[in-house]
Amino acid sequence: MPEVSTDSDTADCLFCRIIAGEIPGDFVHQDQRLVAFRDIAPKAPFHVLVAPREHQPHAAASAAADPTIVGELVTAADVVARAEGYDDYRLIFNTGADAGQTVFHTHLHVLAGKLMGEGFA
């Protein structure tokens, strides 16, 4: 299996800059551990990214560095989806470029508001 690409670190990481307020983000939730903000190119009527404040390149690295954080991301995803009336939603972690990851700061996609069926392609 190819190694997961980590072509950005905190200094030049887009999501670190959004979290730091250097680049605008449409935040729907923030706490000491994580933030949630709307995706700039939504793939569904509701498309929010939930990201830990701590920079790690992907979800498994976050889980290794901070064993409770991935559960916290999932809980926050549920809160922000339900806050806008979505009880049903899809959660996605893309890990590695071949899986579609383009921003190498851990983030959980929360998608809702359209019928998504059973496919994943």
Query: Binder to Zn ion among 47, 105, 107, 109 (CB under 5 A)?
Result: 105
SS3 per-residue string spanning 89-121:
CEEECCCCHHHCCCCCCCCEEEEECCCCCCCCC
Coil, strand, or helix at residue 7? coil
Rounded CA gap, 47 and 54, in Å? 21
Which option in Zn ion, ligand 5GP, none does residue 25 bind, with CB closer than 5 to 8 A by kind?
A: ligand 5GP
From 47, 55, 105, 107, active-site residue: 107
User: At residue 115, what are phi and psi to the nearest 5 degrees?
Assistant: -75, 125
Rounded CA gap, 64 and 25, in Å? 27
Nearest distance from residue 32's CB to ligand 5GP, in Å? 21
Closest to ligand 5GP by CB, 35 or 69: 35
Which option in Zn ion, ligand 5GP, none does residue 45 bind, with CB closer than 5 to 8 A by kind?
A: none
Query: Binder to ligand 5GP among 9, 31, 40, 45 (CB under 6 A)?
Result: 40
* Residue 45 in contact with ligand 5GP, rule: CB under 6 A: no
- For ligand 5GP, the binding residues (CB under 6 A) are 14, 25, 37-41, 94, 100-103
